[in-house]
């Protein structure tokens, strides 16, 4: 950790970044994210639930976008999934792979035999994202799972953020097999422990911060392993999702973007905020200006402060009904959450 001015980024010795929706969307970097990451002194580790690409390919993509990334800085759910398989199977066991070639390679790397169709010797099924997965592949997996094969999913993300919007993720395909087999897989990726522990071990750090855009994977994964986390609104989760979330998906810090890494920890922490009051109204909360002009509009910076206050208020009792504006200033703040 740095001995310089206390910023959120240098309060920690390792920053565990999510990728899709946090650093890039599709082929393009999230605006401002490259500069924010490059400015940090803490080690950057890139942790992705996407099992469709090799770690080296992910690192190369990151470098092309301008991020500082060595191949060993990337930790994928395919690696975590392969490790789970190796813990449960004998060396040389046959594993049917639903997913990309990168997943096959990780299965082979731990001493198992990847195959593309199931048969009497199939001991396990491992399922990761691939845009080429079709019905015949899912059918082969279903046959093996119903026959008793051990089943690992690299992740269960329902959606995948791309430049055009949210596309079906691996979790959508996993749900199809759950319906077809009446079974549920072991899950390697966030929010489960395997991938998060792999990232911590790889980093060599003692005080990591998880940085991501999804409550149900990134932030919940941090909670699972007892780490602090920063939620940024550059990808999937929204302010409404945050207010409705329970304690298993609550971030330590909250910001609109990764620029918050250069702010002080206290400024970005979820908690009561001077100038804002929050009260409950059934399954919603009422937000009001506590001092200052209740009719004056607020900017995005003040809006995120208001959300930190509302999120802190709903920690013990989530508000699925969201936030209600008690005055014009609050209405302006809430409007900034969804721009």
Strands (DSSP E) contained in the chain are: 14-17, 24-25, 28-29, 43-48, 74-76, 94-98, 113-115, 122-127, 150-153, 159-162, 165-168, 186-187, 208-212, 228-232, 253-255, 276-281, 284-289, 323-325
In this model, does residue 2 exceed pLDDT 60? no
Binned at pLDDT 50, 70 and 90, residue 29 comes out as: very high
Q: What is the mean predicted confidence (pLDDT) over 178-199? A: 96
Contact call for residues 308 and 270 (beta carbons, < 8 A)? yes
Which pLDDT score is estimated for 161? 76
CA distance 68 to 43: 10
Binned at pLDDT 50, 70 and 90, residue 292 comes out as: confident
pLDDT tens for each residue of 159-168: 887 778 889 9
Percentage of the chain modeled with pLDDT above 70: 99
CA distance 63 to 215: 26
pLDDT tens for each residue of 51-82: 999 999 999 999 999 999 999 999 999 999 99
Helix/strand/coil for 110: coil
Q: Which burial class, exposed, middle or buried, applies to 111 when counting CB atoms under 10 A from its CB (0-12, 13-18, 19+)?
A: middle
Q: For domain 78-187, give the CATH number.
A: 3.40.50.1000
Q: Given this chain, do its domains 9-49+192-265 and 78-187 carry the same CATH topology?
A: yes
Which pLDDT score is estimated for 277? 97
Contact call for residues 28 and 235 (beta carbons, < 8 A)? no
Question: What is the value of pTM for the model shown?
Answer: 0.90
Beta pairing class for 28-29 and 94-98:
unpaired
The residues near 267 (Cβ < 8 Å, ≥ 6 apart) are none
Q: What is the mean predicted confidence (pLDDT) over 11-40? A: 95
CA distance 330 to 288: 5
pLDDT tens for each residue of 129-151: 999 999 999 999 999 999 999 99
Q: What is the mean predicted confidence (pLDDT) over 187-197? A: 95
Which pLDDT score is estimated for 336? 97
CA distance 291 to 289: 6
The one-character DSSP state at 219 is: I
Contact call for residues 245 and 215 (beta carbons, < 8 A)? yes
Binned at pLDDT 50, 70 and 90, residue 50 comes out as: confident
In this model, does residue 274 exceed pLDDT 70? yes
CA distance 75 to 15: 13
Q: What is the mean predicted confidence (pLDDT) over 284-305? A: 95
Q: For domain 9-49+192-265, give the CATH number.
A: 3.40.50.1000
Q: What positions carry a catalytic annotation?
A: 18, 20
pLDDT tens for each residue of 212-221: 999 999 999 9
pLDDT tens for each residue of 238-272: 999 999 999 999 999 999 999 999 999 999 999 99
Beta pairing class for 122-127 and 276-281:
unpaired
Q: Where are the domains of the chain?
A: 9-49+192-265, 78-187, 272-337
308 versus 160: which is more confidently predicted?
308
Which pLDDT score is estimated for 263? 97
Sign for the pseudo-dihedral over CA of 245, 250, 253, 258 = negative
Binned at pLDDT 50, 70 and 90, residue 3 comes out as: low
CA distance 252 to 64: 31
The residues near 163 (Cβ < 8 Å, ≥ 6 apart) are 25, 26, 27, 28
Which pLDDT score is estimated for 4? 60
Which pLDDT score is estimated for 185? 98
> End-to-end CA distance of the chain, in Å?
34
**Backbone dihedral angles phi then psi of residue 265, each to the nearest 5 degrees:** -60, -40
Which pLDDT score is estimated for 28? 92
In the predicted model, what is the mean pLDDT of the chain? Answer: 95
């Amino acid at each position: 950790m740095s001995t310089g001015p206390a910023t959120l980024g240098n309060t920690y010795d390792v920053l565990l970044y999510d990728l899709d929706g946090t650093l890039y969307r599709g082929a393009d970097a999230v605006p401002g994210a490259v500069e924010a990451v490059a400015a940090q002194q803490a080690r950057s580790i890139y942790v992705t639930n996407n099992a469709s690409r090799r770690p080296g390919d992910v690192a190369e993509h990151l470098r092309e976008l301008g991020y500082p990334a060595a191949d060993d800085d990337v930790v994928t759910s395919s690696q975590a999934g392969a490790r789970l398989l190796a813990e449960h199977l004998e060396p040389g066991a046959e594993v049917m792979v639903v997913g990309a070639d990168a997943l096959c390679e990780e299965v082979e790397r731990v001493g198992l035999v990847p195959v593309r169709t199931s048969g009497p010797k199939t001991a396990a099924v491992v399922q990761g994202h691939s845009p080429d997965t079709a019905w015949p592949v899912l059918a082969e997996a279903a046959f093996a799972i119903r026959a008793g094969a051990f089943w690992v999913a690299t992740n269960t993300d329902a959606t995948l953020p791309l430049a055009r919007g949210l596309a079906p993720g691996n979790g959508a395909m996993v749900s199809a097999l759950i319906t077809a087999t009446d079974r549920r897989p072991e899950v390697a990726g966030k929010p489960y422990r395997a991938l998060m522990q792999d990232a911590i071990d790889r980093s060599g750090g003692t005080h990591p911060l998880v940085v991501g855009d999804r409550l149900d994977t990134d932030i919940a994964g941090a909670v699972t392993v007892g780490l602090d986390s920063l939620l940024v609104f550059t990808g999937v989760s929204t302010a409404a999702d945050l207010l409705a979330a329970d304690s298993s998906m609550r971030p330590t810090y909250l910001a609109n973007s990764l620029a918050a890494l250069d702010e002080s920890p206290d400024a970005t922490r979820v908690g009561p905020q001077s100038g804002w009051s929050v009260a409950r109204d059934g399954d919603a909360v009422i937000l009001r200006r506590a001092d200052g002009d209740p009719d004056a509009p607020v900017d995005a910076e003040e809006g995120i402060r208001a959300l930190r206050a509302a999120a802190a208020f709903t920690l013990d009792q989530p508000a699925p009904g969201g936030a209600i504006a008690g005055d014009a200033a609050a209405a302006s703040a809430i409007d900034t959450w969804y721009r």
